[in-house]
A and B are shown apart, each in its own frame.
Chain A
Amino acid sequence: MDRGPSADEDKAVGRGVDGGLDEGGARGEDEDAVIATRALTKRFRGGQLAVDGLDLSVPAASVFGFLGPNGSGKTTTIRMLMGLIAPTSGAARVLGRPMPESARAVLPQVGALIEGPALYGFLSGRENLMRYDAADPTAEGRTRRARVGAALERVGLASAAGKKAKAYSLGMKQRLGLAAALLQPRRLLVLDEPTNGLDPQGMREIRSLVRELAAEGTTVFLSSHLLDEIEQVCTHAAVMAQGRLLTQGPVAELAARARGRLTVTTPDTADAARVLKEQGVGDLVTAGDRVSGEPPGRDLAEVNAALVAAGVRVRGFGLERGTLEDAFVALTGEGFDVAG
């Protein structure tokens, strides 16, 4: 493998900066994007527009967070990428090949967890994996048992491998689903809500597994409605709402787009608020010993000097970094959990 993760990373970040909100910027580089869609649209028979003109570009070796409220079209998009659903219009390329036409060439290199795990309850965990592996015509039968064992080991299910899957807890089922995605070395992992049903410890394990895989050069496409999760593991993210792509790019850049807030920590909150207002700080909020507001256009050093000159005792002064959640709220103008 010549795909050095760090080198690709730099390139990807560079592209994101150039492209930003303008998807046109990414178009010329569709060839080395692991996932690239052009005006991808799905209208279901009922007339419901689930995905509307999606232009998505997932750079190689990224951990790409696919974000959006429940019902925003994430899963429909993933199903189109995996060849399970035919798009109404538009095109999708995965690993450089058109989907769903090239499904048989592309999918053996893709591990997927789609809308939660699905298992044969009357088979053991190991037998479930044996079956899914047998379904892949490129998987070697001779190495099947060993690969299944390694995948079980990797998700921490080795000791429960002989148990019937119906006796598994939701977290164990989720792990087994992940193991199925890891039966082969993959170039792309598509994980739809991988931490659903997991306890905090399980979530941490999944996150570290994702990082590990990304370090090996696997591109990870991770859908989630949990902003936290995306912010913690992803290098890139896209936000969907009501079937449309709102934005995509490197996570740091998306978060930066949300304007940070100026926060002053002081025992003299009333004086501080008055001075800050004079200095042009808007939307002032006082909470305990903290006063925060939207930073003014002028140099913050001057603001600080004015506070001190007015005799305000300043314990802390700084700009709080915007979070992805702020970015999302700024983009949609609404809370995150509103279904589209």
Chain B
Amino acid sequence: MSRAEAPAAGTAPGRAPARRRPGGLLRSELLTTFRRWRTLALLGVLAAVPVLFGIAVKVETADGGSLGGGGGGGEEAGPAFISQVTNNGLFLVFTALAATLPFFLPMAVGVIAGDALAGEANAGTLRYLLVAPAGRTRLLLTKYATTLVFCLAATLVVALSALAVGAALFPMGELTTISGTRIGFGEGLERALLIALVVAASLVGVAAIGLFLSTLTSSGIAAMATTVGLLITVQILDQIPQLHAVQPYFFSHYWLSFADLMREPVYWDEITRNLGLQAVYAAVFGSAAWARFTTKDITA
């Protein structure tokens, strides 16, 4: 049970009643996280990926020809989109998200989530936050909320960078969906935003796992490394055909289903399954993190 969460039944005598500003800690947490050099470096790397992609495609197609062999079927969403980039820069957004979702994005989230509590414990700042008193549940929720904000920020950084590069290097305009129908540029942008949101939501599970691992140790590096290691392991296991019975339960299994948003009409089945799976992971590992963190001896 939580032992730091008894309701604040009274305030100090002689002090004005507390005016609660629930956003105070979250704001501080966001500022602290996004001012960290490491966070900015991660976002910088993510912003660079679409730039590299854009330049690579541009160079490859500089002679006026199309991208050789890119349209192959078996290679998931990335290559399917990449062949379209030269026709429409907007496809660079989809390509970049498809390319970063399997590894770069979750790795960045794993770093932030893994460090969330373990890093504070390592620096000793955790004990001061707790005697402030931040409240263990409140601090955990704040950390998770901040990690989710980072998921969204990281995804948007990739998407916006890709959009900018796409607009700079390639023509923009009407686009063809995977189903072969044509949609206007405006609707295409809407789809791109929707896809970015779905991609961000796909990271919710990894964020919860990272936060749980972060409650187990006082070493930020250990928590980050374990989260990223787990991510790689699951990605590999997801490729082994013999394991197909359990693969639907892997948090990464339906990640690339966001491509279905580019169908006309949109095929929601796997997207819903993905979001549901992320919610389950968030609930399970969130509860585990709470159970662990609220009863843990803080000796660091």
Instruction: Give B16 Cβ to nearest chain A Cβ, in Å.
Output: 8
Q: Residue on A with the closest CB to B3?
A: A100
Instruction: Give A52 Cβ to nearest chain B Cβ, in Å.
Output: 17
Q: Using known A-B contacts A108-B133, A135-B133, A135-B134, determine if residue A101 contacts B127 with beta carbons closer than 8 Å.
A: no
| Interface contact B35-A119, CB-CB below 8 Å | no
Instruction: Give A127 Cβ to nearest chain B Cβ, in Å.
Output: 8
| Interface contact A108-B28, CB-CB below 8 Å | no
Main secondary structure of the interface of A (DSSP, over half): loop
- Chain B's interface size range is 35 or more
Ranked 8 nearest A-B pairs via Cβ: A118-B124, A135-B132, A107-B133, A134-B28, A138-B18, A135-B134, A84-B298, A104-B8
Q: How far is the CA of A136 from the CA of B15 in the complex (A)?
A: 14
Which residues of chain B are within 8 angstroms of A184 by Cβ–Cβ distance? 15
Q: What 1/0 mask marks residues of chain A from 89 to 122 whose CB sits below 8 Å from any chain B CB? A: 0000000000011111101111010111111101
| Interface contact B125-A120, CB-CB below 8 Å | yes
| Interface contact B128-A122, CB-CB below 8 Å | no
Q: Residue on A with the closest CB to B17?
A: A138
Which residues of chain B are within 8 angstroms of A1 by Cβ–Cβ distance? 13-14
Does residue B138 face the partner (Cβ distance < 8 Å to A)? Answer: yes
- Chain A's interface size range is 35 or more
Question: What is the interface of chain A, defined by CB distance below 8 A to chain B?
Answer: 1, 79, 82-86, 100-105, 107-110, 112, 114-120, 122-123, 130-142, 177, 180, 184-185, 187
| Chain B contacts with A in 116-139, Cβ cutoff 8 A | 123-125, 127-135, 138-139
Q: Using known A-B contacts A101-B6, A103-B6, A134-B24, determine if residue A86 contacts B129 with beta carbons closer than 8 Å.
A: no
Which residues of chain B are within 8 angstroms of A123 by Cβ–Cβ distance? 32, 35
Which residues of chain A are within 8 angstroms of B295 by Cβ–Cβ distance? 86
Instruction: Give B18 Cβ to nearest chain A Cβ, in Å.
Output: 4
Does residue B291 face the partner (Cβ distance < 8 Å to A)? Answer: no
Which residues of chain B are within 8 angstroms of A112 by Cβ–Cβ distance? 128, 131
| Interface contact B25-A110, CB-CB below 8 Å | no
| Interface contact B3-A83, CB-CB below 8 Å | yes
Q: Residue on A with the closest CB to B15?
A: A185
